[in-house]
């Protein structure tokens, strides 16, 4: 845990640095309020524990606290004010400015250590809450089998991209695809082998779509790709690469299996809804299957 020490008094600063280093903390030292603020608000490796002297050149401790609380968008920073002030009203003002705790000068090492440990516990709890929040977000937006976006999440992404395309006039295409003869594969080789095939195809296709696009499981063995800023030619070119990637043999518990995918492509035009766009892609997918499968077909304008 890195602790920032901000104190313009060199004697006090050295005493704090030596004390905290002796307890095993990594210490970063600055000597005025502006330097403290810059350190606490930097994008990478900002200290999350800070001991701030109340009186410093430029910005004082409470002002640093106030600005950090107003501007910080990263993980929580635990701020301890170091002060010689004894008035209750002053201490209340410091806490209202955003400090989490305070300690009076000259500091008692035992008290300082105890208050810093409180800060560590609070930050550890916050980290656990953030990890739990991330895990819940994954559960809410990802398909359990494939790891792709689930239907609700990918449809939300489609709605967002349709709104963007409508306001900015940009391109947007959708690919709707499913695994050819997937029911027969499940019946002949078992559902567990079918799951392995679907998972591997999802992994292969996700590598191809790029960071701006979204690939999701639409239902059963159907996948959907939302492709912002793709025109029809680019979408069909991607669909061909997807088709080729999906056709490579897949190792499963039932042995090496080969399968193919059929893909329908539809591109956005003015005032189209998500439902119309997907219907057009579905019609194109049906045409691909009717034409012999293992191919990509674009919907008619």
Tens of pLDDT, residue by residue over 149-193, are: 999 999 999 999 999 988 888 899 999 999 999 999 999 999 999
Q: What is the longest distance spanned by two Cα atoms in the chain?
A: 85
Structure tokens, 123: 């930050």
Do both 169 and 65 map to the same domain? no
Q: What is the CATH number of the domain that holds 174?
A: 3.30.70.270
pTM higher than 0.75: no
Residues 6+ positions from 274 with CB-CB distance below 8 Å: 155, 158, 159, 162
If asked whether residues 240 and 171 sit together in one domain, one would say yes
pLDDT tens track for 96-153:
999 999 998 888 999 999 999 999 999 999 888 888 888 887 788 999 999 999 999 9
pLDDT digit string, tens, across residues 234-243? 999 999 999 9
Domain total for the chain?
2
Three-class HEC string of 174-242: EEEEEECCHHHHHHHHCHHHHHHHHHHHHHHHHHHHCCCCEEEEEECCEEEEEEECCCHHHHHHHHHHH
Cα–Cα distance measured from residue 293 to residue 34, given in angstroms and rounded to the nearest whole number: 66
Indicate if 168 and 194 belong to the same structural domain: yes
Query: Cα–Cα distance between 153 and 86 in angstroms, integer?
Result: 54
The CATH number covering residue 109 comes to 3.40.50.2300
Distance CA 122, CA 155 (A): 38
- Tell me if 205 sits within 8 A of 215, measured CB to CB: yes
Residues 156 and 71 in one domain: no
């Amino acid at each position: 845990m890195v602790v920032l020490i901000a104190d313009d008094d060199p004697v006090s600063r050295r005493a704090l640095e030596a004390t905290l280093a002796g307890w095993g903390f990594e210490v970063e030292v600055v000597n005025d309020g502006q330097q403290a603020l810059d350190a606490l608000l930097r994008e990478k490796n900002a200290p999350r524990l800070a001991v701030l002297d109340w009186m410093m050149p430029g910005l004082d401790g409470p002002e640093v606290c106030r600005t950090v609380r107003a501007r910080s968008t990263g993980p929580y920073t635990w701020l301890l004010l170091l002060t010689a002030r004894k008035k209750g009203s002053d201490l209340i003002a410091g806490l209202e400015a955003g400090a989490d705790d305070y300690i009076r000068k000259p500091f008692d090492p035992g008290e300082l250590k105890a208050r810093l440990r409180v800060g560590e516990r609070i930050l550890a709890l916050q980290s656990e809450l953030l990890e739990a929040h991330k895990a819940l977000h994954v559960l809410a937006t990802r398909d359990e089998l494939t790891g792709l976006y689930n239907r609700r999440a990918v449809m939300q992404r489609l709605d967002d991209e349709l709104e963007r395309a409508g306001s900015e006039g940009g391109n947007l295409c959708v690919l709707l695809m499913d695994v050819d003869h997937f029911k027969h594969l499940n019946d002949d080789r078992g559902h567990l082998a079918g799951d392995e095939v679907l998972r591997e195809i999802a992994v292969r296709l996700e590598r191809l779509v790029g960071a701006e696009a979204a690939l999701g499981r639409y239902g059963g063995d159907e996948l959907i790709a939302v492709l912002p800023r793709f025109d029809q030619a680019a979408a069909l070119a991607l669909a061909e690469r997807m088709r080729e990637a999906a056709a490579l043999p897949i190792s499963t518990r039932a042995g090496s299996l080969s399968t193919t995918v059929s893909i329908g492509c539809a591109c956005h035009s003015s005032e189209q809804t998500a439902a119309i766009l997907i219907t057009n892609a579905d019609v194109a997918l049906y045409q691909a299957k009717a034409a012999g499968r293992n191919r990509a077909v674009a919907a008619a304008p």
